[in-house]
Amino acid sequence: MPEAIDRALGQITFDADGLVPAIAQQHDTGEVLMVAWMNREAIAITLAEGNACYWSRSRGRLWRKGETSGQVQRLVELRLDCDGDTVLLLVEQTGVACPTGRRNFFFRAWRDDGWVEIAAPLVATETLYGKGAA
Protein backbone atom coordinates (compact mmCIF):
# COMPACT_ATOMS: atom_id res chain seq x y z
CA MET A 1 0.00 0.00 0.00
CA PRO A 2 1.40 3.44 -0.85
CA GLU A 3 2.70 5.21 2.24
CA ALA A 4 0.41 8.22 1.80
CA ILE A 5 -2.71 6.05 1.72
CA ASP A 6 -1.49 4.10 4.73
CA ARG A 7 -1.05 7.42 6.56
CA ALA A 8 -4.55 8.55 5.53
CA LEU A 9 -6.02 5.38 6.98
CA GLY A 10 -4.14 5.90 10.22
CA GLN A 11 -6.22 8.97 10.97
CA ILE A 12 -9.52 7.16 10.63
CA THR A 13 -11.16 5.61 13.68
CA PHE A 14 -12.77 2.32 12.68
CA ASP A 15 -15.42 0.70 14.88
CA ALA A 16 -15.12 -2.66 16.64
CA ASP A 17 -15.91 -4.40 13.34
CA GLY A 18 -13.23 -2.40 11.52
CA LEU A 19 -15.80 -0.30 9.68
CA VAL A 20 -16.86 3.31 9.24
CA PRO A 21 -20.10 4.62 7.74
CA ALA A 22 -19.55 6.09 4.28
CA ILE A 23 -21.91 8.57 2.67
CA ALA A 24 -21.88 8.84 -1.11
CA GLN A 25 -22.96 12.25 -2.37
CA GLN A 26 -23.26 13.35 -6.00
CA HIS A 27 -20.49 15.95 -6.16
CA ASP A 28 -22.24 18.65 -8.18
CA THR A 29 -25.90 18.46 -7.17
CA GLY A 30 -25.39 17.57 -3.50
CA GLU A 31 -27.81 14.63 -3.74
CA VAL A 32 -27.17 12.08 -0.99
CA LEU A 33 -27.09 8.83 -2.92
CA MET A 34 -26.55 6.19 -0.24
CA VAL A 35 -24.84 5.21 2.97
CA ALA A 36 -22.68 2.09 3.05
CA TRP A 37 -19.72 0.84 5.08
CA MET A 38 -15.99 0.83 4.42
CA ASN A 39 -13.07 -0.95 6.04
CA ARG A 40 -9.38 -0.09 5.63
CA GLU A 41 -9.05 -2.12 2.48
CA ALA A 42 -12.17 -0.62 0.86
CA ILE A 43 -10.85 2.89 1.43
CA ALA A 44 -7.40 1.97 0.13
CA ILE A 45 -8.94 0.45 -3.01
CA THR A 46 -11.19 3.46 -3.52
CA LEU A 47 -8.22 5.84 -3.33
CA ALA A 48 -6.02 3.64 -5.52
CA GLU A 49 -8.58 2.78 -8.21
CA GLY A 50 -10.62 5.99 -8.18
CA ASN A 51 -14.02 4.25 -7.94
CA ALA A 52 -16.01 3.64 -4.77
CA CYS A 53 -15.47 0.27 -3.11
CA TYR A 54 -17.41 -0.63 0.03
CA TRP A 55 -17.56 -3.48 2.51
CA SER A 56 -20.81 -5.37 2.15
CA ARG A 57 -21.90 -6.44 5.63
CA SER A 58 -24.61 -8.72 4.23
CA ARG A 59 -22.25 -10.51 1.86
CA GLY A 60 -19.18 -10.29 4.09
CA ARG A 61 -16.89 -9.17 1.28
CA LEU A 62 -15.55 -6.17 -0.58
CA TRP A 63 -18.10 -4.65 -2.93
CA ARG A 64 -16.89 -2.61 -5.86
CA LYS A 65 -19.99 -0.50 -6.42
CA GLY A 66 -21.31 -1.23 -9.90
CA GLU A 67 -19.36 -4.46 -10.34
CA THR A 68 -22.52 -6.21 -11.54
CA SER A 69 -24.77 -3.36 -12.65
CA GLY A 70 -22.15 -1.05 -14.15
CA GLN A 71 -23.48 1.78 -11.99
CA VAL A 72 -20.06 2.84 -10.74
CA GLN A 73 -19.20 5.84 -8.60
CA ARG A 74 -16.10 7.75 -9.67
CA LEU A 75 -14.43 9.34 -6.67
CA VAL A 76 -14.14 13.10 -6.90
CA GLU A 77 -13.12 13.77 -3.30
CA LEU A 78 -12.85 11.87 -0.03
CA ARG A 79 -13.62 13.77 3.16
CA LEU A 80 -13.28 12.87 6.82
CA ASP A 81 -15.34 14.24 9.69
CA CYS A 82 -14.07 15.91 12.85
CA ASP A 83 -14.23 12.71 14.91
CA GLY A 84 -12.50 10.76 12.17
CA ASP A 85 -15.15 8.05 12.30
CA THR A 86 -17.28 8.83 9.22
CA VAL A 87 -16.25 9.45 5.63
CA LEU A 88 -18.00 11.39 2.90
CA LEU A 89 -17.39 10.44 -0.72
CA LEU A 90 -18.12 13.07 -3.33
CA VAL A 91 -18.74 11.02 -6.45
CA GLU A 92 -19.85 11.08 -10.04
CA GLN A 93 -22.62 8.47 -10.09
CA THR A 94 -23.11 6.55 -13.33
CA GLY A 95 -26.82 5.89 -13.83
CA VAL A 96 -28.60 5.04 -10.60
CA ALA A 97 -27.21 4.29 -7.16
CA CYS A 98 -30.10 2.23 -5.79
CA PRO A 99 -30.59 -1.46 -6.65
CA THR A 100 -34.32 -0.69 -6.93
CA GLY A 101 -33.49 1.39 -10.02
CA ARG A 102 -33.97 4.72 -8.28
CA ARG A 103 -31.37 7.42 -8.42
CA ASN A 104 -30.76 7.35 -4.64
CA PHE A 105 -31.61 5.11 -1.69
CA PHE A 106 -33.69 7.67 0.22
CA PHE A 107 -36.93 7.50 -1.73
CA ARG A 108 -39.28 7.27 1.25
CA ALA A 109 -40.30 10.45 3.07
CA TRP A 110 -42.28 10.73 6.27
CA ARG A 111 -45.58 12.55 5.96
CA ASP A 112 -48.20 13.09 8.64
CA ASP A 113 -49.46 9.57 8.60
CA GLY A 114 -46.86 7.34 6.98
CA TRP A 115 -43.92 6.84 4.67
CA VAL A 116 -44.57 7.81 1.07
CA GLU A 117 -42.46 7.04 -1.97
CA ILE A 118 -41.19 10.27 -3.51
CA ALA A 119 -39.22 8.78 -6.41
CA ALA A 120 -40.01 6.11 -8.98
CA PRO A 121 -37.50 3.69 -10.50
CA LEU A 122 -35.71 5.11 -13.54
CA VAL A 123 -34.58 1.71 -14.75
CA ALA A 124 -35.84 -1.85 -14.21
CA THR A 125 -33.97 -4.11 -11.80
CA GLU A 126 -33.75 -6.73 -14.56
CA THR A 127 -31.96 -4.24 -16.74
CA LEU A 128 -29.43 -3.61 -14.00
CA TYR A 129 -28.86 -7.16 -12.83
CA GLY A 130 -30.37 -9.46 -15.45
CA LYS A 131 -33.39 -11.73 -15.09
CA GLY A 132 -33.82 -13.47 -11.80
CA ALA A 133 -32.04 -10.75 -9.88
CA ALA A 134 -33.30 -9.97 -6.40
DSSP category for residue 51: B
Instruction: Decide whether 23 or 62 has the Cβ nearer to its own copies.
Output: 23
> CA end-to-end span of the chain, whole Å?
35
Round to whole Å and give the CA distance between 100 and 30. 21
Does the footprint of its own copies cover residue 133 (CB under 8 A)?
Answer: no
Instruction: Decide whether 35 or 124 has the Cβ nearer to its own copies.
Output: 35
Round to whole Å and give the CA distance between 67 and 95. 13
50-69: contacts with its own copies (CB under 8 A): none
Letters for 14-53 (x = contact with its own copies by CB under 8 A, - = none) are -------x-x-x---xxxx-xx-----------x------
Q: To the nearest whole angstrom, how small is the minimum distance from the Cβ of residue 94 to its own copies? A: 18
